A = this chain, B = another copy of it.
Amino acid sequence: MTSVLQRDAERTRRALLEAAATALRAHGPTVSLDAVAREAGVSKGGLLHHFASKDALLTGLADEWMTRFDAAVQNHLDPSDERPGRVCRAHIRAAFDDTLVGDDQLWSDPAVLAALLAVPEVLRRARESGERWRSELTADGLHADRVLIISRVLDGMWLTELLDGRSATAERASLRDILLSLTDHTGAMSPTA
């Protein structure tokens, strides 16, 4: 029975993750567990009950985000689209999804990235996730060159917006259309005049 509990472990866990992200943005990548716990309205002991260590907390944060992005790609799959590159297109649309990558969103903050990069386990899982996507996208019917270019552009865009803040909307839309149009043919890349 999922009643409205005063004590709801799952709710607390989520609150802690959200608080971690918020506190990271506010206090930089060296935030103390105290600060995160306070932000979540929990004691440090309570935090450490859910996440055995600081690294575990940050790993949990990274997991949460990767899971959320994976789900977003699923949501952006177009059922009526049966041409090659459909997963790739969903991937592109997800990467441009404003509700996922907005400025206000907790993802895009250098301090958060800095903290996560410092945790080996996070790096491991990020590599794993990248490898999964890599194989899924190359099995999508497009030429490898196109997948490669598109993936790198998406990565680069994320990095750029992480540093500079969200770029101009017009530029974003233009970039999105270019990438999507790159999935319209299955041949090798070749420039045209």
Contact = CB atoms under 8 A, between A and B. Distances in A.
Interface of A: 28-30, 110-111, 113-115, 117-118, 123, 126-127, 130, 145, 148-149, 151-160, 163-164, 171, 174-175, 178, 181-182, 184-187, 189-193
Contact of A157 (B30, B152, B163, B164): B152
Contacts of A114: 29, 113-115, 117-118
Given A111-B117, A156-B157, A187-B192, 9 more contacts: A114-B117, A148-B174, A148-B175, A149-B149, A151-B160, A159-B159, A178-B189, A181-B189, A192-B192
A107 to B, nearest CB: 14
A65 to B, nearest CB: 15
28 contacts: A30-B30, A30-B118, A110-B123, A111-B117, A113-B117, A114-B114, A114-B115, A114-B117, A114-B118, A127-B163, A130-B164, A145-B178, A149-B153, A151-B160, A152-B155, A152-B156, A155-B159, A155-B160, A156-B157, A158-B159, A159-B159, A181-B190, A181-B191, A184-B191, A185-B192, A187-B192, A187-B193, A192-B192
A92 to B, nearest CB: 13
Contacts of A159: 155-156, 158-159
Given A118-B111, A145-B178, A160 B192 contact: no
